Every structure is written in C-alpha cells, then in structure tokens.
Amino acid sequence: MGFNNEGVFEAVERLKKEQRVLIGGNIGKNKITPNKEAAKDYLICFDALFQYVDYFVVNVSSPNTPNLRELQDKDALRVIFKTLKDSRDKMRETANGFKEKPLFVKISPDNSFEQIDDILSLVEEFDLTGIVATNTTISREGLKTGSTEVEAIGAGGLSGKPVQDRSDEVVRYIRNKNQDIVLIGVGGIKTGQDARQKMEAGADLVQVYSCFIYAGPKMVSEITKAIA
C-alpha cells in the first residue's frame, strides 16, 4: 500500500491547468522513506505545490503507509512542522506576491486523548490553521462481517460508517480544548444529518470520502441544504 500515485511533479502539471474550485494539498512521505528522513518528503511536496493549491494538509495518520502514524509522536511532528514553517517563512521574505496558505494536520481516530493533547500543543506552537479529524481507523470493532473474513481481507484503514462515532468524539474533544482553530470533520458522513452532527460536535467544515463513492454527487447538494 502507501500513497500510490505518479508523484508530486505530475500533480503539479495537472494543477497548472485552470482551476475553478479550492484545491487542498494532502501531503505525505513516500512508503520507502525512513521516518527519520520524512520531513524531506513533506518539504518537497510543500515547495512544489505551494503556488498551485489553496491550503495544505500534513497527513501523518494514514494506516496504509507502514509506520506513518509514528510521525504523530510529538518530537517527530515538531520536526515536520518546523521544516515547513521555515520554508514558508523564507518564501514570505523572498517571493513576490506571496500568499499565505492555511496549514492543517490530519490525525488518526485511534489516538488517545493524551496524544491529541500533544498534537494540539504543536498546532498552537507553530500557529497552524487547524486539524482534520479524522483519518481512517485500524479498529475492526462493530462490523457485521465475520472476523475470519475481516482478517483475510488484511490490514488497512477502515472508513465510512464504522469510524463515524469515534470521529465525532475526537472532533468534540478538540473543540472543547480549543475554540479558535479551524476544525475539518470527516468520517462516516453520508447524509445531511451526518454532516450536521459533525458540525454540532464542533467542526467548521466537513469532508466526505467513502460515502461519496456509494451515494454519488447528489449527496453534496443534500449536505449543503441540511447545513443551510
């Protein structure tokens, strides 16, 4: 597994075409890059995409890239944030027409509240815009499919409805801890009511992934109407 794609520079070529919507750059390290060198991968993506996206998400929480979640540890995450902040500060000083880009971090639903507290402290320390909560889960609790079949399917992140309640819980916890950061809620949103529930938990914005595949584009208008 991993973030399988044709690479950041291919993405840049596609993004050079005219865009009429907001684009987020969700950046992560290569599967084969050791964690101790991960900041270099994030920096390459950050610098290459900077003028072509509207905001960034530092993805350190996907369970589909081996050992990626270890980068949520406070010391490892501080290195990544500092590396990106230093690059952004340098651009601000030297680039003509510099435009600030919001910076988020995407976290796991499987983190303990103590781990979330550590991440929040870094978000405040480096003045990040906010948090995307949450990524997919490694938990297999509450599934209707038998355990033998689930084990045969193998490792990877579970998304959709099974992660909804925990995602809501994490969103609610973060909002209670910090009233100022921008919070993007994601996990199990399929209906307008799901989106309202996420926002009532404390999310400012919502994201959809798996359920978009099953419900199709129509769900977007249903969600926006429910929120309105």
Residue positions annotated with a catalytic role: 62
| Whole-number Å distance between alpha carbons of 223 and 228 | 9
DSSP letter string, 43-58: HHHHHHHTTT-SEEEE
Query: Which token pair is 44?
Result: 């390459």
Q: Which helix (H) or strand (E) holds 192?
A: helix 192-201
Cα distance between residue 130 and residue 132, in whole Å: 7
Q: Which two tokens stand for residue 189?
A: 């949103």
The whole-angstrom separation of Cα 104 and Cα 128 is 6
Buried b (16+ CB within 10 A) or exposed e, 186-224: bbbbbebebbbbbbebbbeebbbebbeeebeeebeeebe
CB 133 within 8 A of CB 183: yes
Distance, CA of 93 to CA of 156 (rounded, Å): 42
Q: How far apart are CA 202 and CA 183, in angstroms?
A: 7
